[in-house]
């Protein structure tokens, strides 16, 4: 009888280090999910012998417990020696082999046997990214399986965004490389890729692959949470971190950014700062252009700031998933521009605020949050040259995270958090929206009647 479970296609690129985890993943999809799985194994001349031995081993075949759901297909050996010159990187040879294997893979997926169990998803390893186009052709989901760890994945994903100057500093001057959310990468531990010539086509292809990887339906990594906690926030103590963000558009002058950086550093508190390049004339400078902006190197920060604060601060360029960040137990305060969405999100998550309004109605919001609702303290002391100084920022951060004032606000906002949940569930907000819905429904029925 034909199986009704999804059929997944895995592509293992040459090399035992890829083949073993791909087979393990296949076996798990079969035994844990009862999925049908076909593994296509690409071979090169030097890898074939070992591959064949491995595939014949009971561990790979594993037919006792796979109920016939696991199919392993060897892609016929393809000689690429006339396509890649002698002395070429082995990775290039593997990628050339994968490219040559694509027609076989396409035919196999489209042939009648496959058609009766049309595959739902294609999973490739890091060297099989060139095969992802086939998933598009057959309307399949596409995933990349990283057979290494999450730290390595983070470095890879950041590489296209990194300023080459920063990589050069790392490689030539042996400076640690800062990767958002991860410990810095020491020169002694760095990856081979950074030694490649950025003008070399192999490097360009590497970058292109990473971009393609980030456009898939998902990335699987061979690790687990306790081994590599997924974000920096997980490692911080409860309510110890100040989250700093000025909404989708807020932008500071360069002098203000420097004072903010110093204020955070001097406070000696933990921080998670969504930073933007400064703009001298427009506090809403990113409002309409955020999507086009890139912030490769925060070179507008004070010299040495990132290195000095690396143990307790995280600077995330341009954008962070704010609601997720605010809901994290380690967040203890929010330095905000008081956009109303940000204010509501902070209240809903019970996070006390430091109000730093910039434009639009944000000063009104700051007034209300501070004076009426009592869930924030407000930055007020502006230096004669129009900038909020580092000392004021230091003191505000300390107050909200450490002082009794911050504790009182925390108690107040936690009460409001409960009331927000009630309003969203059955209370005022729910009822008001129901009233609007009732008016719309009435109008809809009236129009229907008058149209006959
Ligand atoms: N936001 C986000 N990540 C960021 C910055 C902003 O998710 O790095 C979201 C935030 O959660 C909020 C919205 O963008 O929902 C900003 O709206 P708000 O009214 O606070 O400020 P505005 O951007 O309109 O000034």
Specify the pLDDT at position 72.
94
Sheet with 218-221, strands from edge to edge, namely: 70-74, 36-41, 7-12, 121-125, 141-146, 218-221
Q: Per mean pLDDT, which range of 64-68, 170-174, 350-354 is the poorest?
A: 64-68
Q: What is the DSSP letter of 76?
A: P
* pLDDT class of 1 with cuts at 50, 70, 90: very low
Q: Which atom of ligand 1 is nearest to the CA of 359?
A: 25
* pLDDT class of 160 with cuts at 50, 70, 90: confident
Beta-sheet strands, E only, within 206-296: 218-221, 241-245, 270-275
- Determine the Cα–Cα distance for residues 249 and 283; give it in Å rounded to an integer: 8
* pLDDT class of 178 with cuts at 50, 70, 90: confident
Ligand 1: centre distance to CA 186 (Å) = 34
CA distances from 69 to 29, 31, 128, 276 (A): 10, 9, 23, 51
- Determine the Cα–Cα distance for residues 274 and 255; give it in Å rounded to an integer: 17
Question: Catalytic residue at 299?
Answer: no
Ligand 1: centre distance to CA 130 (Å) = 36
* pLDDT class of 180 with cuts at 50, 70, 90: confident
Do the Cβ atoms of 16 and 47 come closer than 8 Å?
Answer: yes
Ligand 1, atom 17: nearest CA belongs to which residue? 341
Q: What is the DSSP letter of 403?
A: S
Could you tell me what percent of the chain has a pLDDT over 90? Answer: 58
Specify the pLDDT at position 291.
41
Beta-sheet strands, E only, within 23-82: 36-41, 70-74
Do the Cβ atoms of 153 and 219 come closer than 8 Å?
Answer: yes
Q: Which atom of ligand 1 is nearest to the CA of 323?
A: 11
Specify the pLDDT at position 428.
76
Which residues are paired to 272 by β-bridges? Answer: 243, 314
Task: Kindly tell me the sign of the dihedral angle through the C-alpha atoms of 325, 327, 329, 335.
Answer: positive
Ligand 1: centre distance to CA 245 (Å) = 8
Nearest residue to 98 via CA among 54, 163, 47: 47
Mean pLDDT of 233-261: 95
Among 7, 82, 125, 189, which one carries the catalytic annotation?
A: 125
Specify the pLDDT at position 293.
43
Specify the pLDDT at position 111.
84
Specify the pLDDT at position 166.
85
Among 18, 170, 328, 337, which one carries the catalytic annotation?
A: 18
Q: Is the model's pLDDT at 290 over the cut of 60?
A: no
pLDDT digits (tens, 9 = 90+) for 373-420: 999 999 988 888 889 999 999 999 999 999 999 999 999 999 999 998
Ligand 1: centre distance to CA 331 (Å) = 17
Mean pLDDT of 419-432: 81
For ligand 1, mutation pick of 314, 339, 355, 362 (most atoms within 8 Å of CB): 339
Q: Is the model's pLDDT at 289 over the cut of 60?
A: no
- Is ipTM strictly over 0.95? yes
Q: Is the model's pLDDT at 84 over the cut of 90?
A: no
Q: Which atom of ligand 1 is nearest to the CA of 249?
A: 23
Specify the pLDDT at position 47.
54
Mean pLDDT of 116-132: 93
Q: Is the model's pLDDT at 112 over the cut of 90?
A: no
Give residues (CB < 6 A) around ligand 1: 245, 247-249, 274, 319-323, 339-342, 345
For ligand 1, mutation pick of 275, 289, 291, 322 (most atoms within 8 Å of CB): 322
Mean pLDDT of 105-116: 81
Residue owning tokens 């995330």:
316
């Amino acid at each position: 009888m034909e199986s009704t479970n999804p059929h997944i296609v895995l592509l293992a690129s040459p090399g035992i280090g890829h083949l073993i985890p791909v087979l393990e993943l296949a076996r798990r999809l079969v035994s844990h999910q009862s999925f049908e799985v076909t593994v296509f194994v690409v071979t090169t001349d030097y890898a074939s012998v070992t591959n064949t031995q491995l595939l014949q081993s009971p561990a790979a075949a594993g037919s006792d417990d796979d109920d016939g759901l696991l199919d392993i297909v060897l892609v016929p050996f393809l000689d690429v020696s006339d396509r890649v010159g002698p002395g070429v990187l082995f990775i290039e040879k593997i990628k050339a082999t994968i490219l040559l294997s694509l027609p076989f893979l396409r035919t196999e997926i489209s042939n009648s046997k496959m058609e009766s169990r049309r595959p739902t998803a294609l999973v490739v390893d890091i060297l099989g990214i060139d095969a992802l186009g086939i998933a598009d052709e057959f309307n399949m989901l596409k995933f990349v399986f990283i057979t290494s760890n999450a730290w390595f994945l983070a470095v890879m994903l950041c590489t296209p965004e990194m300023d080459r100057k920063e990589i050069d500093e790392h490689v030539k001057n042996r400076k640690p490389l800062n990767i958002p959310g991860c410990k810095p990468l020491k020169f002694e531990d760095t990856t081979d890729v950074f030694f490649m010539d950025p003008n070399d086509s192999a490097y360009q292809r590497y970058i292109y692959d990473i971009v393609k990887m980030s456009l898939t339906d998902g990335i699987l990594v061979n690790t687990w949470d306790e081994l590599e906690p997924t974000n920096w926030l997980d490692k911080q103590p409860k309510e110890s971190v100040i989250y700093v963000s000025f909404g989708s558009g807020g932008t500071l002058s360069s002098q203000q950014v420097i004072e903010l950086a110093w204020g955070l550093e001097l406070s000696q508190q933990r921080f998670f700062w969504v930073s933007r390049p400064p703009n001298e004339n427009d506090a809403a400078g990113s409002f309409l252009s955020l999507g086009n902006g890139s912030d490769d190197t925060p070179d507008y920060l004070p010299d040495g700031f990132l290195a000095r604060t690396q143990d307790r601060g995280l600077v995330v360029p341009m954008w962070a998933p704010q609601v997720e960040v605010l809901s994290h137990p380690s967040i203890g305060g929010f330095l905000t521009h008081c956009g109303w969405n940000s204010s509501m999100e902070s209240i809903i998550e019970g996070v006390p605020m430091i109000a730093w309004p910039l434009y639009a109605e944000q000063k009104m919001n700051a007034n209300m949050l501070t004076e009426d609702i009592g869930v924030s303290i407000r930055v007020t002391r502006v230096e004669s040259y129009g900038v909020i100084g580092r000392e004021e920022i230091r003191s505000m951060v300390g107050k909200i995270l450490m002082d009794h004032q911050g504790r009182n606000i925390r108690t107040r906002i936690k009460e409001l958090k409960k009331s927000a949940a009630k309003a969203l569930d059955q209370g005022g907000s729910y009822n008001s929206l129901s009233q609007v819905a009732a008016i719309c429904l009435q109008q809809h029925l009236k129009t229907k009647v008058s149209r006959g």
